[in-house]
Amino acid sequence: MSTLNVRQQKLVKQMTSPFTFIPFSLAKIPMLAIAGVRIKEMNKERSVVSAPFKHINKNPFKSMYFAVQAMAAELSTAGAAMLALEAFEDSFAYIVVGVKAEFVKKADQKVFFECVNYSDFQNALEKATATNEPVEVPSVTEGKMADGTVVSTFEVTWSFKKRER
């Protein structure tokens, strides 16, 4: 993989540093801050997000609430999408248009979600730029506990449309 451009490097620094991510999440997405969801890694290979197992994130069954897992899963795909967006000079509108989830095991520890779809986002943005048509990108992220146990899998579908200047 090639190196990150200056804008991508700045985004990675802002999103992976607690000194900038926590104020950002408090201002823009307060539930992320309250739940303690954090971006741990963000590069062209993968975007990794953690969701802690703490009292506020638990359901009555003593496992992580599905909505906390959904927030972390969506953020892991958003990390890859935002990084791809920063490679382009054009402005794009983007939004989640679909979510599918499968919960396979009780999440009773911190969960890490990993998305490896950067190149899919980059290809979609190139297509949206060339055609001026909306492009949808399904991206998969898998939630695992520290021991590697898969607890959930999400498919988050993003739509991108190049904005007119």
Is 25 exposed, middle or buried (CB count within 10 Å of its CB: 0-12, 13-18, 19+)? buried
Q: What are phi and psi of 158, to 5 degrees?
A: -105, 145
Task: Using DSSP bridges, classify how beta strands 38-42 and 47-51 pair: parallel, antiparallel or unpaired.
Answer: antiparallel
pLDDT digits (tens), the chain, 165 positions: 468 999 999 999 999 998 999 998 999 999 999 999 999 999 999 999 999 999 999 999 999 999 999 999 999 999 999 999 999 999 999 999 999 999 999 999 999 999 999 999 999 999 999 999 999 999 999 999 999 999 999 999 999 999 987
Domain 6-162, architecture per CATH: Roll (3.10)
Domain ranges of the chain: 6-162
Q: Find the helix or strand (DSSP H, E) in which 150 lies.
A: strand 150-162
pLDDT at residue 1, as a whole number: 46
